[in-house]
Amino acid sequence: MSLRAFRPIKVVTIDIANPPPSISLAGEGNDGYGGVFCLVRSGVQPLSIVELDHPGPVVATADVLAALGSLHPSPSISLDRRCRDQRIAVIIATRDRAESLNRCLVSLFDQTRLPDEVIVVDNAPASTATADLLARHYCGRVRHVLEPTPGLGRAHNTGLRHVSSDLVLFTDDDVVLDRYWVAAMAHPMEEDAAVGCVTGLILPAELETRAQVWAERHGGFGKGLRPRTYDLGVNRPKGALFPFTAGQFGSGANMAFRASALKQVGGFDSALGAGTLACGGDDLAAFFSIISGGFRLVYQPQGIVWHHHRRGEDGMRRQAYCYGLGLGAYLTKILLDDPRRFFRLAAALPAGILHMAGPFSIKRLRLPSDYPERLVWIERLGIVAGVPGYLRSLSKMRRDDRARSIASSSNTIASKET
C-alpha cells in the first residue's frame, strides 16, 4: 500500500465465524485511517493477513474477505488436552514501563488457559512504579523479582531460576497477548517431547505512524501463517545458512522453552540482549543453542502477540542499529563458543551477504518505496559494530559477576559474624 501521503492504517481482526458487517476507519484526526491491516481467523486458526487501501470512512467486511482469494490454511489444531500434566510459567522482563506492563498482564489473565506461575523480572528499575503496580493490582497472582543489573538475557536467566514449571513462556512488556496464546505456545511441547523451543506469530498492535509501518515492512517480527519445524535431522532446511540465520525462527517477544532443554544448553547469554552493550541477540543465541543441542524448534503461528512498534523515527533509527548490533554480537558469540564454526560460517558468507543485502532478497523486496536507505546502512553498520560490542559486553558481564560474587561473599561473612 502506498505511503507517499501517509495516513495511519487500522489494525483489526475478523473471525469468519462471526464477522462484523463493516469496519469503521474514523480516527481522531480529520482524515481518519487510510486502510486496514486485518488478521482473518477462524477461532484459534489464523487464515490470512489482508492489507487494503480504502479512502472512505467505512470498509465493508465483504471487501476484506473478497481480497482473501483462495485460502490454503495449515491444518487446524485442537488446544484441548486429555491430560494437562505440564506446568506452565510465564516470564516478563520489564524496565520502567509500568503502563505497558499492565496492558500485557491484563491480556495474560484473560487467557483461555491460565499459567501456573507468572514472574515479572524488574530489571534495573529507576523507580518503584513496577513494584507498586504489582502490589496494587496483582498481589498473589504475580511474583515480583528484582534483577539490579541491566540486560535482557540476564533478566530472563533470573526469572528462569525462580520457576518450577516444566514449560516457560517469555514475552515482552510492550505486547498484548492473544487469548489463546498460552495454550497455543504450550501445545507443541506437550505433544512432542523432542520439542525444546516454540516461537509464535508477532503482529503489529497499531500502525499509527510512518515509522511503525516502516518497522513492519522492514520485516516486522512475524514469520508467516504456516507452522514450521526445525531440527538437525529430517526437518533441516536446505541451504548453507542453517542454523546460523536464527532470526528466521522467531523473536524474543514471543518464545517458549522446555525448561529442562533451556537449562541444558546453558540458558541465555547474559552478555546479550537489550540493556547490554550488545543491544540484542539473546533470543537468536538461545534458538541456535536449542537446535545445535539436538532439540526441535517449532514455529507456531496460532500463538499470537500484538507488538507496539516504536512510534517515532528516532526510535526506528535506534532499532535498526540495535538489530544489526545484536545480530553481529550473536554471530561473534557463537564463533567464540566454538571456533570451528568459523569455517562453516565463512563458506556460507556469500549466501549470507545476498540474504542480507542482495537487491532481490526477500527482506529488500518487502521494504516500502519510501523506506529510508540510511536505515539500511545504519543496520549494516550495527552488524559490523557487533563484534567489538559483544567483546565489551562480555567483559562487562564478567566484571559484574565478579562484583556480585564479592558482595555476596561479604554479606555471607557479615551474617555469620552477627
Instruction: Supply φ then ψ for residue 245, to 5 degrees.
Output: -80, 70
Q: How far apart are CA 408 and CA 154, in angstroms?
A: 17
pLDDT of residue 72: 56
Q: How far is CA 338 from CA 26, 33, 177, 332, in A?
A: 55, 51, 37, 10
Do residues 378 and 283 both lie within one domain? no
Q: How confident is the model at residue 1 (pLDDT cuts 50, 70, 90)?
A: very low
Q: How confident is the model at residue 29 (pLDDT cuts 50, 70, 90)?
A: low
**Domain assignment present for 230:** yes
pLDDT of residue 219: 63
Question: What pairs with residue 13 in β-bridges?
Answer: 39
Do residues 37 and 117 both lie within one domain? no
Q: How confident is the model at residue 30 (pLDDT cuts 50, 70, 90)?
A: low
Q: How confident is the model at residue 158 (pLDDT cuts 50, 70, 90)?
A: very high
**Domain assignment present for 300:** yes
Do residues 218 and 105 both lie within one domain? yes
Mean pLDDT taken over the chain: 90
Contact present, 210 and 312 (Cβ < 8 Å)? no
pLDDT of residue 2: 45
Mode of pairing for the β-strands spanning 35-42 and 45-53: antiparallel
List pLDDT tens digits, range 285-297.
999 999 999 999 9
Do residues 98 and 173 both lie within one domain? yes
Find the mean pLDDT for residues 73-77.
Answer: 62
Q: How confident is the model at residue 164 (pLDDT cuts 50, 70, 90)?
A: very high
**Domain assignment present for 76:** no
**Domain assignment present for 82:** no
Do residues 305 and 396 both lie within one domain? no
The pTM of the full predicted model, rounded to 2 decimals, is 0.92
Q: How confident is the model at residue 85 (pLDDT cuts 50, 70, 90)?
A: confident
Asked which of 312, 330, 349 is the last residue of a domain, the reply is: 312
List pLDDT tens digits, range 97-138.
999 999 999 999 999 999 999 999 999 999 999 999 999 999
Q: Of 218, 222, 219, nearest to 203 (Cα)?
A: 222
Do residues 49 and 95 both lie within one domain? no
Mode of pairing for the β-strands spanning 228-230 and 296-307: antiparallel
List pLDDT tens digits, range 286-326.
999 999 999 999 999 999 999 999 998 888 889 899 999 99
Q: Does residue 408 have a pLDDT over 90? A: no
Q: How confident is the model at residue 368 (pLDDT cuts 50, 70, 90)?
A: low
Q: Which domain holds residue 152?
A: 88-312
Do residues 252 and 141 both lie within one domain? yes
Q: How confident is the model at residue 3 (pLDDT cuts 50, 70, 90)?
A: very low
Do residues 105 and 248 both lie within one domain? yes
**Domain assignment present for 415:** no
Q: Which amino acid is at 250?
A: G
Q: Does residue 336 have a pLDDT over 60? A: yes
Q: How far apart are CA 408 and CA 414, in angstroms?
A: 10
Q: How confident is the model at residue 4 (pLDDT cuts 50, 70, 90)?
A: low
Find the mean pLDDT for residues 142-166.
Answer: 98
- Number of separate domains in the chain: 3
Asked which of 287, 312, 337 is the last residue of a domain, the reply is: 312
When mean pLDDT is compared across 32-41, 161-170, 295-304, the lowest value belongs to 32-41
Do residues 223 and 322 both lie within one domain? no
**Domain assignment present for 78:** no
pLDDT of residue 191: 95
34 Cβ partners below 8 Å, 6+ apart?
A: 1, 6, 7, 8, 9, 25, 53, 54, 55
Do residues 320 and 300 both lie within one domain? no
Above pLDDT 70, what percent of the chain? 88
> Which CATH number covers residue 124?
3.90.550.10
Do residues 242 and 339 both lie within one domain? no
Do residues 205 and 139 both lie within one domain? yes
Find the mean pLDDT for residues 198-221.
Answer: 89
Q: How far apart are CA 328 and CA 343, in angstroms?
A: 17
170 versus 77: which is more confidently predicted?
170
**Domain assignment present for 194:** yes
187 versus 214: which is more confidently predicted?
187
Q: Give the per-residue SS3 of the chain.
A: CCCCCCCCEEEEEEECCCCCCEEECCCCCCCCCCEEEEEEEECCEEEEEEEEECCCCEEEHHHHHHCCCCCCCCCCCCCCCCCCCCCEEEEEEECCCHHHHHHHHHHHCCCCCCCCEEEEEEECCCCCHHHHHHHHHCCCCCEEEEECCCCHHHHHHHHHHCCCCCEEEEEECCEEECCCHHHHHHHHHHHCCCEEEEEEEEEECCECCHHHHHHHHCCCCCCCCCCEEECCCCCCCCCCCCCCCHHHCCCCCEEEEEHHHHHHCCCCCCCCCCCCCCCCCHHHHHHHHHHHCCCEEEEEEEEEEEECCCCCHHHHHHHHHHHHHHHHHHHHHHHHHCCCHHHHHHHCHHHHHHHHHCCCCHHHHHCCCCCCHHHHHHHHHHHHHHHHHHHHHHHHHHHHHHHHHHHHHHHHHHHHHC
**Grid coordinates 511474583 are at which residue?**
143
Count Cβ atoms below 10 Å from residue 46 Cβ, excluding itself: 23
Q: Of 388, 359, 376, 248, nearest to 320 (Cα)?
A: 376
**Domain assignment present for 100:** yes
